[in-house]
Amino acid sequence: MQIATFAAIDIGTYDVFLEIFEISRKQRIRSIDKIHHRMELGKDTYTNGKISPELEEELCAVLADFAQIMKGYKVDAYRAVATSSLREAQNSLFILGKIRQLSGLEVTILSNSEQRFLGYKALATMETDFNKIIEKGTAIIDLDGGSAQVSLFDKDALVTTQNLRMGSVRIRERLAGIAAETPHYEMLVEEFIWNELLSFKKMYLKDRKIEHIMLLGDFFTNAIFQNEEERASRIISRDTFGSWYGKISGHSPMELAVKFGIPLENASLMSPAAVICNCLIEMMDAQKIWLPGTHLARGLAYEYAEAKKLIKVSHNFENDILMAAKNIGKRYAVNRPHIQNVDMIATEIFDAMKKIHGMGARERLLLKIAAMLHDVGKYISLNSPGQCTYHIIMSNEIIGLSHAEREMIALIGRYNTEPLPRYDQFAQVAAVSQEEYLKIAELTAILRLANTLDRSHQQKVQQVHAALRERQLTLQMTVNGDFTLEQGLCKDKMDFFYEVFSVYPILKVKRPM
């Protein structure tokens, strides 16, 4: 039986965390060791905009120790990631260089959407409970020191995910100067965050019924469970949460530390975290709350096991990414039948051209999302849709995509209607390599051709089959109606396709029998 040993390192807002896993098909993902080091990197970042030299040195020393621990376990692979405390720090690149020099570890700074997707994958490792719960209206509240991510599910499908900049450390530091002036700290926090919560409710909840909430975050002690049944299932009622919330309200961090037997630093974050969760629970009127106790590190292990085919994945994560993109398109009133037609044609062309472009499943996914969102800019301006499309996509997180991938989609959407600049000009607008520029050009060429074949937005192309032979791509299309407009307007798109691929598209049109 193949067993892999994997290490996950999470450089978080208030601690640095190492978890060692054993992964096999039989036992799936099993944690064998966990090491925490308390370090409030977020306090420096959210207060001063950068991490102090003292904390830099401490972080490098801790990671060097982690590297030695990993050697002791003889891990097969590791992944080290950092979240908002480094993502928002002005000196983040310098810190990554020092970590590499002093510990030998390569650290990746996750975008917010990548970070939350890993938390979501950590939940999915608990397959039976997770899949059962999201069958009904469900919200995942992923709370850390920097922000809260709220993801809504309905009938096993991701409806929307939004990031609210109201993490426990961020709020504690913002209110530090006035917290001592009131005996009602919880009311102060609630007043501080309420406007953002109200905006979220108006835009995304409306009449949506939320039956279950999943709370991610390690702010909740075992004292929240009232009996062994709750402790075993980790599911509590709304009344149980309300009772626990009442026990911590009105107490200072020192009193909470003594009462629950936790470090003072943890206790100082408990109140703001509890207020955020309580407000969201009240607003959503949810009756059941699941506290799975998972960590982002488990999501890293899940991704590794998935990539190495050590476990069988039952949940379709790619569909969640597509659903998130689909709901952005819906918000900006895209023409759904047109989008579906363009997607059908574009993916058929992409698959037929694999020998030429050499791209894989991830780029195919980016193309599908670009097809879904290429028209969103028309919601803002019919005169400059490309530029508006770019800004809309860059302003909307798509869970599971990195910042670089989202920018690639935004650029494909922009240059679907605007001339693609030469690389030297392009590099002044976007920080992309020559390889990335070529991918953008290739995916743009495919999208342009697919889009022009539904120029009338009447979905005349009912079926399409693409076949590559030598330097020609033959598109055999079954069309319904007069195809004169599409054939007449596609020459410049076909010329651009040839310029990018050195392959010329040939259209063969037939009418349905």
What's the sign of the alpha-carbon dihedral 213, 121, 194, 379?
Answer: negative
Question: Mean pLDDT in the chain?
Answer: 89
Tell the burial category of 283 from Cβ atoms under 10 Å away from its Cβ (0-12, 13-18, 19+). Answer: middle
- Quote the pLDDT of residue 7: 97
Q: What is the CATH number of domain 126-293?
A: 3.30.420.150
The per-residue pLDDT for 20 is: 96
> What's the pLDDT tens digit per position in 369-390?
999 999 999 999 998 899 999 9
The reported pTM is: 0.80
Helices (H), ranges, 3-111: 41-48, 53-73, 84-87, 92-103
- Give the model's pLDDT for residue 513: 61
- For residue range 153-183, what is the model confidence (pLDDT) as tens digits? 877 777 788 888 888 888 988 888 887 777 7
The answer to whether the beta carbons of residues 473 and 462 sit under 8 Å apart is: no
**CA separation for the pair 430, 411 (Å, rounded):** 9
Q: Which two tokens stand for residue 451?
A: 């889009």
Question: CATH number of the domain at 4-111, out of 3.30.420.40, 1.10.287.130, 3.50.50.60, 3.30.1490.100?
Answer: 3.30.420.40
| CB-based contact 121:302 (threshold 8 Å) | yes
Residue 210 C-alpha from the chain's centroid? 21
Question: pLDDT tens across 224-249, in order?
Answer: 888 888 888 888 999 999 998 888 88
Looking at residue 333, what is its pLDDT?
Answer: 92
> What pLDDT was estimated at residue 401?
87
CB atoms within 10 A of CB 294: 23
Tens of pLDDT, residues 296-341? 899 999 889 988 888 877 777 888 889 889 989 998 999 999 999 9
CA–CA separation, 372 and 413 (whole Å):
10
pLDDT on residue 128:
63
Q: Judge if 4-111 and 317-510 fold alike in CATH terms.
A: no
* CA dihedral sign of residues 215, 221, 224, 225: positive
Q: Which residues of the chain have pLDDT under 70?
A: 1, 127-129, 221, 513
CATH class of 317-510: mainly alpha
Tokens 């100067």 correspond to what residue?
Answer: 177
Q: Residue 306 forms beta bridges with which residues?
A: none
CB atoms within 10 A of CB 226: 14
Q: What are the residues facing 105 on neighbouring strands?
A: none
Q: So where are the chain's domains?
A: 4-111, 126-293, 317-510
Give residue for tokens 């051209």. Answer: 353
Does residue 206 come out as left (phi exceeding 0), alpha (psi in the -120 to 50 range) or beta? left
Which long-range contacts (C-beta less than 8 Å, at least 24 apart) are formed by 217-225?
A: 217/141, 217/142, 217/143, 217/144, 217/273, 218/293, 218/295, 219/143, 219/168, 219/266, 219/269, 219/270, 219/273, 219/274, 220/244, 220/273, 220/291, 221/260, 221/262, 223/247, 223/260, 224/291
Residues 151 and 399: beta-carbon distance below 8 Å: yes
